[in-house]
Amino acid sequence: MTGQVLPAPGQDGEGRIVLAATPIGNIGDASPRLVELLQTADVVAAEDTRRLHRLVQALGITVGGRIISYHEHNEASRTADLLGLVGGGSTLLMVTDAGMPAVSDPGFRLVEAAVEAGLVVTAVPGPSAVLTALALSGLPTDRFCFEGFLPRKAGERAGRLKELAAERRTMVFFEAPHRLEPMLRALHEAFGPDRRAAVARELTKLHEEVLRGPLQELLGWAESSEVRGEIAVVVAGAPEAVPDRPEDHVEAVNALVAQGARLKEAVAAVAEDKRLSKRELYAAVLAAR
């Protein structure tokens, strides 16, 4: 399938949905395309209309089209109406409070339904708290995953982190400032005190701060600080597991022999338990004698 160069909204009379990234802090990060679309789109679907009005006021512009609120509590009821507008030829601009719509923000349901309906969906890329935190963390960026907000309940959160304990990719999370301490404590318990991490707060804003270090140090900072602002937490992936060597289990074989087991029986038992080659373990036992 070849890529398609889309004409500017309104040039061909075809409706479309445009997902547009908004600043995550610094208003100067608003792109010229975002500014143009805010003024020219037929409809602007906003996660919070009050935040939208503050944005356009800061940009010194006015919204040219109809403004509709579209958030997690009305996505289900309003998606069909928005698709109807796009199907009728309107350009629909989708914006959230900060960053890219559909990424831990409203928008996914709209895109999913639009794709199913065969409508055009495009994007105006821009600020992203996920990528900004990842880039500033000092942790590996070649492979990463975004986990959003962890469950609030301790049991559910522990269960999620247990699933991620062996994750090799760098992980990016969001968290509210008043829940950062218990979140870091849960990470500390699940991943160990020495796992490297970074806490990024107020990204691109005046009081931007990125703290880097092992989870034990970051937890101590959170316990002794009054944390404020929007938070992203980046955690290094699990280190590569060191494979067992037959030499590491010679003592276990000798212990069974000392208890009265025959050498071959002891080798077979330990090899099965540790998933080792019986031949290699037997050779290691003989070489140690």
DSSP assignment of 135-168, as one string? HHS-S--SSEEEEEEPPSSHHHHHHHHHHHTT--
pLDDT-derived band of residue 247, with 50, 70 and 90 as boundaries? confident
Q: What's the mean per-residue pLDDT of the chain? A: 92
pLDDT of residue 288: 85
Task: Inform me whether the pLDDT recorded for 6 exceeds 50.
Answer: no
Q: Mean pLDDT throughout 142-171? A: 96
Task: Inform me whether the pLDDT recorded for 12 exceeds 90.
Answer: no
Asked whether the beta carbons of 21 and 94 are under 8 A apart, the reply is no
Tell me the CA distances in angstroms from 28 to 43, 48, 63, 84, 203, one per residue in order: 24, 20, 18, 34, 13
Q: What letters, b where the CB count within 10 A reaches 16 and e where it falls short, cover 269-283?
A: ebbeeeebeeeebbe
pLDDT of residue 31: 97
Q: Mean pLDDT throughout 139-159? A: 96
Strand partners, 209: 201
Q: What is the phi-psi region of residue 204: left when phi exceeds 0, alpha when psi lies from -120 to 50, beta otherwise?
A: left
Task: Inform me whether the pLDDT recorded for 223 exceeds 90.
Answer: yes
DSSP-assigned letter for residue 105: S
pLDDT-derived band of residue 218, with 50, 70 and 90 as boundaries? very high
Q: Strand, helix or coil at 61?
A: coil
Q: Which amino acid is at 83?
A: L
Percent of the residues in the chain that have a pLDDT greater than 90, as a whole number: 81
Q: How far apart are CA 136 and CA 138, in angstroms?
A: 6
As a whole number of Å, the end-to-end CA separation of the chain is: 65
pLDDT of residue 65: 96
pLDDT of residue 285: 86
pLDDT of residue 180: 97
Q: Mean pLDDT throughout 12-41? A: 94
Task: Inform me whether the pLDDT recorded for 221 exceeds 50.
Answer: yes
Task: Inform me whether the pLDDT recorded for 102 exceeds 90.
Answer: yes
pLDDT of residue 289: 80
pLDDT of residue 1: 42
Task: Inform me whether the pLDDT recorded for 199 exceeds 60.
Answer: yes
Q: Strand, helix or coil at 191?
A: helix
Asked whether the beta carbons of 127 and 24 are under 8 A apart, the reply is yes
pLDDT-derived band of residue 11, with 50, 70 and 90 as boundaries? low
Torsion over CA: 144, 206, 96, 20 (sign): negative
Percent of the residues in the chain that have a pLDDT greater than 70, as a whole number: 95
Residue 159 sits at φ, ψ, to 5 deg, of -65, -40
Q: How far apart are CA 70 and CA 44, in angstroms?
A: 9
pLDDT of residue 98: 95
Question: According to DSSP H, which parts of the chain are helical?
Answer: 32-40, 49-59, 75-87, 108-117, 129-136, 154-164, 180-191, 215-224, 250-258, 263-274, 278-288
Does the model's pTM come out above 0.85? no
